[in-house]
Amino acid sequence: MLFLVRMDVKIPHDLPAAQADEIKAREKKYSQDLQRDGRWRHIWRVVGEYANYSVFDVQSNDELHQLLSQLPLFPYMDIHVTPLANHPSAIVQEGAPG
């Protein structure tokens, strides 16, 4: 199942810089591990914002929720999830069964 996810990060200004840096380092490792295993298919920065659009390829809504809620920056994020379906005019049918 493919999902488009927008993540807006809002780290509190009073969070100590060292703590914010440590959280960001864990976030980077976690997200890159998910990219390597294929579940986090794409990630794009939103220009001028501390935000991204990402495409996830997971087995279920529950799996996506679990992955997102384990993001180290999750407590500081507003997240919007859009389920995706194949479009009949697409040349390549992403994630389509057999």
CATH number belonging to domain 2-84 = 3.30.70.1060
In the chain, the DSSP E strands lie at 2-9, 40-45, 51-57, 77-84
Q: Which amino acid is at 19?
A: Q
Average pLDDT over residues 66-89: 96
**Tens digits of residue pLDDT in 1-27:** 999 999 999 999 999 999 999 999 999
Is the Cβ–Cβ distance between 39 and 95 less than 8 Å?
no
How big is the chain by its Cα radius of gyration, in Å?
15
Domain extents in the chain: 2-84
pTM of structure: 0.89
